[in-house]
Amino acid sequence: MIYLDNAASTRLDDEVLTAMMPYLKENYGNAQSQHAAGRASANAVMSARDKIASLAGCKPEEVFFVSGGTEAGNTALKGVCALHKKGHLVLSSIEHASLSESALDMQKLGFEVTFVQPESDGAVRAENIAKAMREDTIFCAVMAANNETGVIQPVEEIGKICRERGVFFYSDCVQTAAYLPLPVGFADGMGFSSHKFYGPKGSGALILRNRNNVLRLISGGMQEMGFRGGTVNTAGIVGTAAAYERACTSRETVNAYVKGLRDKFINRVLTEIAGTRLNGSLEKMLPSIANISFDGCDGENILFLLDLKGVCVSTGAACAAGAVSPSDTLTSMGCGIKEAKSAVRFSFGKHNTEEEVDVAFEALKFAVEKIRNN
């Protein structure tokens, strides 16, 4: 199998599994328990929190372990709304469903929502976010980079605009946590999932610079400093910290390696297969993602033929796969319906090899020719 869907999920690193194992086998105590087994768990969670805080550049008490990016986004958006009880939200129109659907839920409760479109390069403009803001704006969400195109968003500028206006700014860092530092100096809230960078699924973090700005979503026991009830996932948390540490300490090397593979693939596709277009501006892209449209093809058909050859790719967001409608992200960048439907996302990771890139390219060329000749 050639796995080119690393933006959807990645393979757990052996070292991360090794770090997690003791907390699945020997140290299985509940981190809330008042005995040696509980203390072993609690200490592991405390070290994981310290590690993430020092790598991210924030305080340990600002790091909350959650189940991943979806919970992080829901908690921030709904938690700000719950405190304000009414108001206006500004989101980019290319947010992951965890933010956009949360905003639509809040709209049903009486909050007003404005979605701001990106430009054709895939990035939203800070001035358009500023224009969308109103006196009663309480919350703004712009992701650090888009999951379909990999285009990096101007979060520093947007963060400054939000700060000047006293608007809570959330940046979904699920796709960038491995590749870029977290925007702790510009955002009030940030979230990530460890399975995007060779950690375990169902585990991630929400960083809140001031927890008092957000009402907790999950009430229960005193876990996570009273902010998120429920027995903590000790092994997942240990794995998250181990994976994040590995991502941060190997960032330069991994970024360069993955970019090399991705750029080689893009070059081959754009020069050797006619009628192909890269969606989004390459200069603004994460090193890992290539979203390409293929004239005269349906992305779903390409995915199917590649799957038959053992190559795993995606047509846009994994959570939206199977949906017949074209990607909102691509259409909001100005792609036509046909062009958007013909798009395929290839996402590369550190476990991929050059040879895999070449084999995947040949399979892709064959698939596109087959579809076009039908």
Select the residue interacting with ligand PLP from 10, 27, 75, 147 (CB under 6 A). Answer: 147
Between residues 87 and 280, which has the closer beta carbon with respect to ligand PLP? 280
**Contact window for ligand PLP (CB under 6 A) among 26-34, 168-176, 252-260, 340-348:** 168-176
In the complex, least distance from residue 174 CB atom to ligand PLP, rounded to whole angstroms:
4
**Contact window for ligand PLP (CB under 6 A) among 169-177, 213-221, 243-251, 359-367:** 169-177
CA–CA gap between residue 174 and residue 184 (Å, rounded): 14
**Residue 68 binding ligand PLP, by CB under 6 A:** yes
In the complex, least distance from residue 205 CB atom to ligand PLP, rounded to whole angstroms:
11
In the complex, least distance from residue 322 CB atom to ligand PLP, rounded to whole angstroms:
15
Between residues 126 and 205, which has the closer beta carbon with respect to ligand PLP? 205
Q: Which is the catalytic residue, given 81, 312, 319, 335? A: 319
**Residue 79 binding ligand PLP, by CB under 6 A:** no
Inter-CA distances, 155 with 59, 71, 143, 171, Å: 21, 21, 8, 7
In the complex, least distance from residue 193 CB atom to ligand PLP, rounded to whole angstroms:
3
Element spanning 202, H or E: none
What are the DSSP calls for 138-193, one per residue? EEEE--SB-TTT-BBP-HHHHHHHHHHHT-EEEEE-TTTTTTS---TTT-SEEEEE
Between residues 115 and 361, which has the closer beta carbon with respect to ligand PLP? 115
**Residue 223 binding ligand PLP, by CB under 6 A:** no
281 burial via Cβ count (<10 Å: 0-12, 13-18, 19+) = middle
**Residue 291 binding ligand PLP, by CB under 6 A:** no
Q: How many residues bind ligand PLP (CB under 6 A)?
A: 12
In the complex, least distance from residue 152 CB atom to ligand PLP, rounded to whole angstroms:
12
**Residue 293 binding ligand PLP, by CB under 6 A:** no
What are the DSSP calls for 279-309, one per residue? -S-GGGB-TTEEEEEETT--HHHHHHHHHHT
Half-sphere exposure of residue 170: CA atoms within 13 angstroms, side-chain side: 38
**Residue 175 binding ligand PLP, by CB under 6 A:** yes
CA 95, distance to chain mean position in Å, is 10
Q: Which residues contact 131 (CB under 8 A, 6 or more apart)?
A: none
**Residue 92 binding ligand PLP, by CB under 6 A:** no
**Residue 125 binding ligand PLP, by CB under 6 A:** no
**Residue 345 binding ligand PLP, by CB under 6 A:** no
Between residues 276 and 329, which has the closer beta carbon with respect to ligand PLP? 329
Select the residue interacting with ligand PLP from 151, 174, 248, 363 (CB under 6 A). Answer: 174
222 burial via Cβ count (<10 Å: 0-12, 13-18, 19+) = exposed
What percent helix, strand, coil does the chain show, rounded to 5? 45, 15, 40
In the complex, least distance from residue 224 CB atom to ligand PLP, rounded to whole angstroms:
17
Query: Left if phi > 0, otherwise alpha if psi is -120 to 50, otherwise beta: which for 111?
Result: beta
Inter-CA distances, 237 with 41, 111, 199, 204, 318, Å: 10, 34, 10, 7, 24
Clarify whether 319 is annotated catalytic: yes
**Residue 96 binding ligand PLP, by CB under 6 A:** yes
Task: Report the amino acid identity of residue 244.
Answer: Y
Where along the sequence are the contacts to ligand PLP (CB under 6 A)? 68-70, 96, 98, 143, 147, 172, 174-175, 193, 318
Q: Which residues are catalytic?
A: 319
